Structure 1
Amino acid sequence: MSRRQPADAELPVMRDVVTRIDALGDLINDLMIFARPRPPHPTTFELRPLLLEAIAILRRDPANAALKVAIDGPDVTLTADADLIRATVLNLLLNSAQATGGQGSIAIAIEQRDQRCILKILDNGPGIPAELRGRVFEPFFTTKARGGGLGLPIARRTAELHGGTLTLTCPDTGGTVFTMTVLLRALAAVRPSEPPGYQTAKNYDSDPEEQRGPRDGLG
């Protein structure tokens, strides 16, 4: 017996169902990462090739085909968890790309200071309203219809696992700047602070691909 082919009128509905299933899968994945974060597994690697990998993943989405991304600054050698760093960078790039509608530009600046690497990601989007800036790292806060609002909290936790920080600023000239600092050599003893709502999320029993952030903006 042949299987009935969907009518043209059904295709948009089916695509919407698939999109919603994918979003649910992302949310479950992020909840598991947030509730049970694994410790970093450090390896030694060059940062610039990792950034290029994240940019290549970003460009796989046709919506970002016109996006301009530039990297400035010296290459830096890190001893860190490459998968976690790559996933964090990709999450920040996705936020910046969505802020510009995939049509703007993103500038990535690398700096080495003392025993730390400082990575800044600046987009030329409209920026984030002042009343929301203090909430973007709160678990489950998001301004997007898709996503669970865990991408940025997970990204901040990754920075903290590497002895660093992740902050956000909006210059008067416009746009948004994410600034992530990590130790050049990750310390296994460093433990992140528990963000607001951590205990609740930890008890909720409900990808680089092993620990990826969701694909929504602002988390």
Structure 2
Amino acid sequence: MGADKPHAPSCERNRDPILEVLRVHFADRHNVLEIGSGTGQHAVHFAGAMPQLVWQCTDRVENLPGIQLWLDEARLPNTPAPIELDVSGAWPTQRYDAVFSANTLHIMAWDEVEQLFDHLADATTDDAKLIVYGPFNYDGHYTSDSNAAFDQWLQARGAHMRIRDAEAVDAIADAAGFKLVDDITMPANNRCRVWQRQAWLG
């Protein structure tokens, strides 16, 4: 089975720095919705390290079998079967008090990023936390030459792909009732940006 599992080397490199952030911000959380679980490697690592969390993997339908291979091998009690989630389609009816997503915003089209935040009000509890890992631009500028090169590579793959401006993401998060509470420098010119839902904003 192991030879058939999908594998992303970047997950092995970034999983422990991300886990340090999750240990702080998800310490009092219970149900995590992961948007775009990819291979499933992150889910297995984080759910294994934080057994108090029920970690719900999601992705487009074509990625679910690979995720299931990782979950089957790990046999963790807190990782239910992955479910299909395309941000433009139907979302789970359960409400989650935590949402995590890694390396997704620059792959989605901008209207899909907007739809993601639009759906969060119905998918989360009133005090939910959202953590997004990946590269961001600030004040319209790249934070490194490597991010500039990565952005060129993304746009060569698809015109809808690009590194997102932090301020633009904050604006749609704010409109959805999520306030930025932390912005953490990560290895390889990435960030972990943390928002918390403000119940008084609905």
**Larger Rg computed on CA atoms:** 1
Normalised TM-score (structure 2) = 0.30
Instruction: Tell me which protein shows more helix as a share of its residues.
Output: 2
Instruction: Tell me which protein shows more strand as a share of its residues.
Output: 2
